[in-house]
Structure 1
Amino acid sequence: MIERMSRPSRALAILLIAGGIIGLIAAFALTTDKFIALQNTIDGVQAKASCDISVLVQCSKNLNSPEGSAFGFPNPLLGLMMFPAPIIVGVATLAGVRFPRWWWALFNVGMAFAIGFVAWLMSVSVWVLGTLCPWCMTVWAVVIPMALGTTLYNLREQNLPLGDRVARIAGRVNGWMPIVTLVVYVAFAVIAQVRLDVLHRL
């Protein structure tokens, strides 16, 4: 039996490329700030990150927290390793490459990890650290639509074999993806406002 090959839409390919590039830039900026801070530690106090604007809007607190090195190394290094993947997939797709179902399922596992990790970091930032990290939020902003778009595509094409009904639902939801993504953004903004009183502290 020949394995069915699959290729997503041009729109998803462009989303993966753009999101990967933006995420890579943000991860690089965070990594640079982290290493500069480590190299400029005076009396145990690290230099401020370039995106430290106020007590509320900053990156240093996030980078220096235990959660900022969840796997024993700075989280941005994970971004530097992972964001090239969607860029490569998007470029290959535009070039006409078709990947087998199992490959898309594996890629979706990576996206599921990414969205789960981002959701955890978002909750930590708002509920534990009480900060809004600009570069971190940039990463969150691109991971959400990339993960959503990839998952809906795989469900619709049954690269994730959850049945015809799920595939039909995913196909319908896919047309509303920009609105769903916007709803997630707005929900985070509301939670941040309620928890951190952002509008009065900026």
Structure 2
Amino acid sequence: MIERMPRPSRALAILLIVGGIIGLIAAFALTLDKFAVLENPKFVPSCNFSVLIGCSKNLNSEIGSTFGFPNPLIGLMMFPAPLIIGVASLAGVRFPRWFWALFNVGMAFAIGFVIYLISNSIFNFELRVLCPWCMAVWSVVIPMSLATTLYNLREQTLPLGARVAKAAGWLYGWMPILTLVCYVIFAVVAQVNLDVLGNLF
């Protein structure tokens, strides 16, 4: 008999829905901009605000096609997953443990890839630019990844022991603060390395 997980909290389900929608919108917008740039190399995306805030550098760089094709296509493929899982969870569907573990693997890839992209945007001297649509993706992947991992640790889908499960359950209740801390760390690192406020416009 397949053991099914308890239904995730409504907050987690809504987070997955909202995050999936925002991620899809951002990935779709970046995909359209990439197509436009391929058709006309002189095309200037609407998200280009200054030398520091814009999409062009990211889209045209090697980092913008990490796996040999435009990164936004990864978002178009992956963001429907949290959206569908969130909707199904609100509808009362209880997924088996292996399903949540597999979903966690996907979210681990997502947060790892986001960290890689953030690092290149801030520290790669060929880029040193912040893409608004990319930041929208980062802003939803971070809390979705944290919440999914803490949920799976709490429910011991990721079997790391009772103490870890208890700690994860406690941290799960502090998700808004944890997310805010991650945002603040990113903002501070970006400001120190890029002088965001001084180069905003």
| TM-score exceeds 0.5 | yes
Amino acid corresponding to residue 3 of structure 2 in structure 1: R
- Aligned position for 2:151: 153
Amino acid corresponding to residue 55 of structure 2 in structure 1: C
Q: Distance in 2 between matches of 1:86 and 1:165?
A: 28
Q: What are the ranges of 5 or more consecutive residues in structure 1 without an aligned counterpart?
A: none
Q: Distance in 2 between matches of 1:39 and 1:59?
A: 16
- Aligned position for 2:24: 24
Q: Does structure 1 residue 78 correspond to structure 2 residue 74?
A: yes
Q: Given the alignment, which residue of 88, 91, 96 partners 1:95? A: 91
- Aligned position for 2:186: 188
Amino acid corresponding to residue 24 of structure 1 in structure 2: L
Q: Distance in 2 between matches of 1:59 and 1:124?
A: 14
Amino acid corresponding to residue 26 of structure 1 in structure 2: A
Q: Does structure 1 residue 65 correspond to structure 2 residue 61?
A: yes
The residue matched to 1:112 in structure 2 has which SS? Answer: helix
Q: What are the ranges of 5 or more consecutive residues in structure 2 without an aligned counterpart?
A: none
Task: Quote how far apart the aligned CAs of 1:3 are.
Answer: 2.6
Q: Distance in 1 between matches of 2:106 and 2:29?
A: 22
- Aligned position for 2:170: 172
- Aligned position for 1:130: 128
Q: Distance in 1 between matches of 2:84 and 2:178?
A: 25
Runs of 4+ in 1 over 2 A off after TM superposition: none
Count of aligned pairs: 197
Q: Distance in 2 between matches of 1:10 and 1:3?
A: 23
Q: Distance in 1 between matches of 2:48 and 2:189?
A: 22
How many percent identity over aligned positions?
Answer: 73
The residue matched to 1:166 in structure 2 has which SS? Answer: helix
Task: Quote how far apart the aligned CAs of 1:49 are.
Answer: 1.5
1:20-59 alignment runs, 5 A limit? 20-41=20-41, 46-59=42-55
TM-score, L = length of structure 1: 0.96
Task: Quote how far apart the aligned CAs of 1:4 are.
Answer: 1.9
Note the aligned Cα RMSD (angstroms): 0.7
- Aligned position for 1:115: 111
Q: Distance in 2 between matches of 1:171 and 1:153?
A: 7
> 1:12-40: per-residue Cα shift (whole Å, max 9, x none)?
00000000000000000000000011011
Q: Does structure 1 residue 12 correspond to structure 2 residue 12?
A: yes
The residue matched to 1:99 in structure 2 has which SS? Answer: coil
The residue matched to 2:69 in structure 1 has which SS? Answer: coil
Q: Distance in 1 between matches of 2:186 and 2:83?
A: 26
